[in-house]
A = this chain, B = another copy of it.
Amino acid sequence: MIKAPLSALLLLVAMTSTLGKYIPKSGKRIPQTLSRGWGDQLIWAQTYEEALYWSRSKNKPLMVIFHLEDCPHSQAMKKAFSENNEIQRTLDEDFIVLNLVYETTDKHLSPDGQYVPRLIFVDPSMTVRADITGRYANRMYAYETSDTKLLLSNMEKAKKLLKSEL
């Protein structure tokens, strides 16, 4: 005798808990990730300030990726980058990572201009490693999908930290 009212009550509770959550008029959205597709298993800093703090305190080099969601070169690089286990493992173990879809106010992060995709390394001493460049003279910090080996060798360079002058 008690079964029907109880299941009705449970149904009501279940409905209420679903109804209770805010859902946009346009339909439920997939929550945005901080990785933006560049590696869901990595721990991403949100801002340049946060990234610099972690780089200094963990004494690990920082990789900053500038990209745009609707840029085909960014999309292609993101796919190659996120699917390359050696890149992902090395970043996870030895780097602080930040990906940005907006420029920061720090001009040091655009040594030869603002373009995407652009990968800049920063030493824990807070020195931008303008010396670690890709293959292209006119866009020195750009990498193509065919440049993953060069990128890995540049990551090894970035891991050799600059000597502090202190």
For A32, A50, A53, the residue with the greatest tally of chain B CB atoms inside 10 Å of its CB is A32
Give residues 5-32 of A contacting B (CB, 8 Å): 20-24, 28-29, 31-32
- Contacting pair A105 B49 (CB below 8 A): yes
- Report Cα–Cα, A29/B129, bound state, in Å: 30
- Report Cα–Cα, A21/B92, bound state, in Å: 13
Contact residues on A (Cβ < 8 Å of other chain), bracket: 20 to 34
**Is A100 an interface position by the 8 A CB rule?**
yes
- Contacting pair A39 B53 (CB below 8 A): no
Other-chain contact of A105, B21, B31, B46, B105 (Cβ < 8 Å): B105
The contact string, 1 if C-beta is below 8 Å from chain B, for chain A 44-57, is: 10111110010000
For A35, A50, A102, the residue with the greatest tally of chain B CB atoms inside 10 Å of its CB is A102
Asked if A32 meets B29 with Cβ closer than 8 Å, knowing A92-B22, A102-B46, A105-B49, the reply is no
Residues of B within 8 A of A89 (CB): 22
- Contacting pair B50 A43 (CB below 8 A): no
Asked if A92 meets B24 with Cβ closer than 8 Å, knowing A101-B50, A103-B49, the reply is yes
